[in-house]
């Protein structure tokens, strides 16, 4: 018995010593006896031991490295956020002047030669980046000035009094917008932010998507008299309703699905689009402001819901002569739409079907989603307004602009030009679509404005980012 115990004891000591030697030899770089033993062992043998017998130790080492890298990543993220906040404060509190130099690019459209101007806008690249790193800004015209509002609330202008020049200046406009937003609003990883600007009757209206209360998000509109020295904003539309995760499917809120486009009617009343924020049932709830088109009456606190059953309106234009609105709308996976609303419709709220009807599909093929939001492939059969046109696959449709009489243009974002993304389109509409065609590809067109007086189209291409100017724009449509 003593003999067996002695053998076991010796074997145990040798095993412990061997384990220590081999373990150290695998991980040690010291020039020692252990290192010499390590040299004797084949590399494949050491690798096998490291990944099997000594895996727990290696896992601990890797976990320690991951934790260290995670801390470093968090530090870099915080530094990035602080840098974005500092840049925002510089631009929003001072009238910064930046010299801009344009460059020309030649295009042939409908057999006509065009020279378009591109003005790099890199200095505002921090404005508001979406998952793919794009920088978004919104445009409007005021006299000879192009007013620009960035996604994180920086305002400025470029004076295009001399269109043929190659040198321009961007001048930031200080404002008190930080009275209405928090630090989160400014950072590029926050998907809310400034969603549109619109000038009417010497007043600048701005839509904001932000956190209203903890993890509950909403939309508001602020206003200021146009003043290129300072914008003194005050509240215009500040609803208390906010959105959390989908009430049925419990999917998280999507702030990129928030609408926020602004136009005005012939009386100067504001028309605001609101998305459903991925809380789909809100669109069919008449008591909710979300998934709607809303008329905000000037000089009052009252509003009227014009449409419902909207998912995410991304562009609008008002035809004052015939009193109708054309609105572009993001579908889910497929099913982008252009819809028509006429102020001469009955007084009831017009319903465009979302999320009951759509020519697209949900991104997630889950039973609970389709049971509650079926996406029928007809609107009219279920009592809804049909789109005047829809796009499957989606083109990531964006802004639409009235050019002249029954001529309109609309744009797209996305990433695939072969599917119609990244492009500018022509649309002939007279109570129905007469004609539409793709004109050319330019990049992700977030916003555009047509200067009818000077026949110039201004485009914000967020891919670059840059401002694009096309002079003699109407010449494009001459065959």
User: Does residue 402 have a pLDDT over 90?
Assistant: yes
Write out pLDDT tens, residues 85-125. Answer: 888 888 889 899 999 999 999 988 877 888 899 999 887 65
14 compared with 303, residue with greater pLDDT: 303
Instruction: Give the per-residue pLDDT at 3.
Output: 53
383 vs 53, 201, 287, 339, CA distance in Å? Answer: 68, 38, 19, 15
CA distances (Å), 368 to each of 55, 333, 364, 377, 463, in order? Answer: 42, 17, 10, 18, 36
Query: Phi first, then psi: what are they for 154, rounded to 5°?
Result: -95, 130
Assess whether pLDDT exceeds 90 at residue 412. yes
Check residue 66 and give its pLDDT. 87
The helix or strand, by DSSP H or E, that contains position 319, with its residue range, turns out to be: strand 313-319
List Cβ neighbours of 390 (8 Å cut-off, separation of 6 or more).
331, 335, 336, 337, 338, 359
Q: Looking at the predicted structure, is the pLDDT value of residue 8 above 60?
A: no
DSSP class of residue 430 equals S
Q: Is the pLDDT of residue 370 over 90?
A: yes
Find the mean pLDDT for residues 51-69: 76
- pLDDT value of residue 182: 92
Q: What is the pLDDT of residues 237-246, one digit of tens each?
A: 999 999 998 8
| Residue with the larger pLDDT of the pair 346 and 27 | 346
Cβ atoms of residues 412 and 422 within 8 Å: yes
CA distances from 65 to 28, 69, 118 (A): 17, 6, 46
Task: Give all strands (DSSP E) within 35-183, no chain letters.
Answer: 97-101, 103-109, 112-120, 137-142, 145-150, 155-159, 167-173
Sheet containing 112-120: order of strands = 103-109, 112-120, 466-471, 456-461, 445-451
Residue 100's CB is within 10 A of a number of other CB atoms, namely 16
Distance (Å, whole) CA 282 – CA 357: 15
DSSP label at residue 184? H
Region 286-315: what's the mean pLDDT?
A: 95
Q: What phi and psi, each to the nearest 5 degrees, are found at residue 52?
A: -125, -80
Residues 6+ apart with CB under 8 A from 163: 454, 456, 469, 471
Q: Beta strand 336-342 with 145-150: parallel, antiparallel or unpaired?
A: unpaired
Mean pLDDT, rounded, for 344-360: 93
Q: Residue range 136-160: average pLDDT?
A: 94
Please determine, for residue 249, whether its predicted confidence score (pLDDT) is greater than 80. yes
Please state whether beta strands 389-391 and 336-342 pair in parallel, antiparallel, or not at all (unpaired).
Answer: antiparallel
Residue 347 burial (10 A CB sphere; 0-12, 13-18, 19+):
exposed
pTM of the model: 0.87
Distances (CA, A) of 449 to 148, 248, 283, 303, 408: 11, 39, 29, 27, 12
List the domains of the chain with CATH numbers: 2-53 (no CATH), 100-477 (2.120.10.30)
pLDDT of residue 54: 62
Closest by Cα among 200, 132, 190, 109 to 425: 109
Edge-to-edge, what's the strand order for the sheet holding 193-200? 193-200, 203-213, 216-225, 234-237
- At 293, phi and psi to the nearest 5? -115, 125
Lowest mean pLDDT among 109-123, 139-153, 208-222, 267-281: 109-123
% of the chain residues with pLDDT over 70: 86
- Please tell me the distance from the alpha carbon of residue 432 to that of residue 115, in angstroms, as a whole number: 33
Angstrom distance (rounded) from CA 469 to CA 116: 6
Q: Which two tokens stand for residue 431?
A: 């109570």
Rounded to whole angstroms, the Cα distance separating 384 from 387 reads 9
pLDDT confidence of 82, banded at 50, 70, 90? confident
Backbone dihedral angles phi then psi of residue 152, each to the nearest 5 degrees:
-105, 15
pLDDT at 11 over 60: no
**pLDDT of 62:** 81
Per-residue model confidence as pLDDT tens digits over 434-475 = 999 999 999 999 999 999 999 999 999 998 889 999 999 999
Candidate from 11-15, 145-149, 248-252, 380-384 with smallest mean pLDDT:
11-15
Distance CA 64, CA 191 (A): 32
Find out whether 400 and 410 touch, Cβ atoms under 8 Å: yes
User: Tens of pLDDT along 194-225?
Assistant: 999 999 999 999 999 999 999 999 999 999 99
Q: How many CA atoms lie within 13 A of 471 on its CB side?
A: 13
Residue 179 has pLDDT above 80, yes or no: yes
Q: How far apart are CA 387 and CA 409, in angstroms?
A: 17
Adjacent-strand bridge partners of 199 = 204
Query: 65-80: string of b/e by CB count within 10 Å (b at 16+)?
Result: eeeeeeeeeeeeeeee
């Amino acid at each position: 018995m003593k003999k067996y115990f002695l053998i076991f004891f010796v074997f145990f000591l040798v095993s412990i010593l061997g384990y220590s030697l081999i373990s150290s030899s695998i991980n040690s770089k010291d020039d020692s006896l252990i290192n010499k033993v390590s040299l004797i062992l084949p590399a494949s043998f050491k690798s096998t031991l490291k990944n099997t017998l000594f895996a727990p130790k290696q896992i601990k080492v890797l976990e320690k490295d991951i934790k260290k890298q995670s801390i470093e990543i968090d530090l870099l993220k915080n530094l990035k956020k602080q840098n974005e906040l500092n840049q925002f404060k510089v631009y929003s509190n001072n009238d910064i002047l930046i010299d801009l130099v344009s460059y020309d690019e030649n295009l042939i459209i409908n057999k006509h030669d065009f020279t378009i101007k591109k003005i790099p806008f890199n200095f505002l690249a921090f404005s508001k980046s979406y998952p793919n790193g794009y920088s978004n800004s919104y445009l409007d015209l005021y006299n000879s000035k192009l007013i620009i509002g960035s996604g994180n609330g920086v305002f400025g202008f470029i004076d295009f009094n001399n269109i043929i020049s190659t040198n321009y200046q961007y001048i930031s406009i200080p404002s008190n917008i930080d009275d209405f937003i928090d630090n989160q609003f400014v950072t590029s990883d926050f998907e809310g932010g400034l969603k549109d600007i619109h000038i009417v009757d010497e007043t600048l209206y701005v839509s904001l998507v932000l956190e209203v209360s903890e993890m509950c998000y909403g939309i508001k509109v602020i206003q200021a008299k146009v003043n290129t020295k300072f914008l003194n904003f005050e509240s215009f539309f500040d609803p208390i309703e906010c959105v959390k995760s989908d009430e049925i499917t419990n999917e998280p809120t999507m702030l990129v699905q928030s609408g926020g486009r602004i136009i005005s009617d012939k009386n100067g009343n504001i028309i605001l689009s609101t998305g459903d924020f991925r809380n789909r049932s809100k669109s069919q709830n008449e008591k909710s402001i979300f998934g709607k088109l809303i008329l905000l009456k000037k000089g009052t606190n009252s509003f009227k819901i014009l449409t419902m059953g909207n998912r995410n309106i991304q562009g609008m234009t008002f035809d004052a002569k015939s009193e109708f609105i054309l609105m572009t709308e993001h579908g889910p996976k497929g099913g982008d739409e252009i819809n028509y609303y006429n102020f001469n419709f009955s007084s009831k709220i017009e319903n465009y079907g979302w999320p009951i009807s759509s020519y697209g599909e949900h991104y997630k093929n889950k039973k609970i989603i389709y049971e509650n939001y079926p996406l029928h492939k007809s609107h009219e059969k279920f009592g809804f307004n049909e789109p005047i046109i829809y796009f499957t696959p989606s083109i990531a449709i964006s802004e639409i602009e009235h050019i002249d009489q029954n001529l309109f243009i609309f744009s797209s974002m996305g990433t695939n030009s072969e599917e119609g993304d990244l492009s500018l389109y022509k649309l002939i509409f007279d109570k129905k679509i007469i004609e539409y065609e793709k004109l050319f590809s330019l990049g992700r067109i977030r916003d555009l404005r047509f200067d009818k007086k000077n026949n110039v189209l201004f485009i914000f291409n967020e891919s670059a980012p840059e401002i694009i100017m096309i002079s003699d724009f109407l010449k494009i449509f001459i065959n």
